[in-house]
A = this chain, B = another copy of it.
Amino acid sequence: MPKIVDREKKRVEIAQKAIEVLAKRGFQATTIQDIADAASLGKGTIYHYFKTKEEILWAVSEQMFRETERSLGAALLKINEPMDKLVALIEEALHITEELEHIFIIYSELWLMTVRGEQTGDFVNVLRRLQNDMTNLVASMIREGKKQGLWPGDTDADALAGYLASSFDGVFAHYMIDKENFDIKRVTNEFIKFLIKQSAPKND
């Protein structure tokens, strides 16, 4: 039993160290040696914890997923007003950190592997869960907003949430290609303004 815990703990440790190199070089270009170096282990040792290189990516993706969920949840716990929550969520989702950039790059690579259907594991589930989590979060806010009369009653909450949640990734991607010119703050704020006008309109 303690053995197994140790094993799992070490897998997590290795995966953690792997994230950085993977984001920097990509999965294909990252060698087992790179990962071993990052984890300060011998190349052979990695194979005591992972059967193949791809298995490392599975572990990495799982871990990233858990961390992303946790940080999303944490950001929203403390807020009550649905509208404020939505704004907070957007701001959180589009708040750039170097760590997040790494993770976003790896997600993108998982996305690519998935749409190409080349993976043996099921990254697709990680990505869909993530997508659904985010969409449901947004949808629940919109629904709550509708209930409180802050949002038009005929809004298709799921569809709009689908659009919003998706758009975050697009904004992030555009920002990363053109950091100097793409002012993510300004873009986000303008969009929030747009949302809010929409949400609390016509008390006519």
Kindly identify which residue among B25, B169, B177, B197 contacts A118, using a CB–CB cutoff of 8 Å.
B25
Contact with B along A168-204 (1 / 0, CB 8 A): 1111011111100011001111110010011001101
Query: Is A24 in contact with chain B by the CB < 8 A criterion?
Result: yes
- In this complex, the interface size class of chain A, counting residues with CB under 8 Å from chain B, is 35 or more
Kindly identify which residue among B116, B178, B183 contacts A159, using a CB–CB cutoff of 8 Å.
B183
Kindly identify which residue among B26, B159, B162, B197 contacts A112, using a CB–CB cutoff of 8 Å.
B26
Asked whether, in the complex, the Cβ of B160 is within 8 Å of the Cβ of A166, the reply is: no
Query: Is A59 in contact with chain B by the CB < 8 A criterion?
Result: no
Contact with B along A120-132 (1 / 0, CB 8 A): 0000100110010
Asked whether, in the complex, the Cβ of B112 is within 8 Å of the Cβ of A112, the reply is: yes
Complex-state Cα separation, A202 to B188, whole angstroms: 23
Query: Which residues of A does B touch, CB under 8 Å?
Result: 2, 23-26, 28-29, 44, 101, 105, 108-109, 111-112, 114-116, 118, 124, 127-128, 131, 152, 155-156, 159-160, 162-163, 165-171, 173-178, 182-183, 186-191, 194, 197-198, 201-202, 204
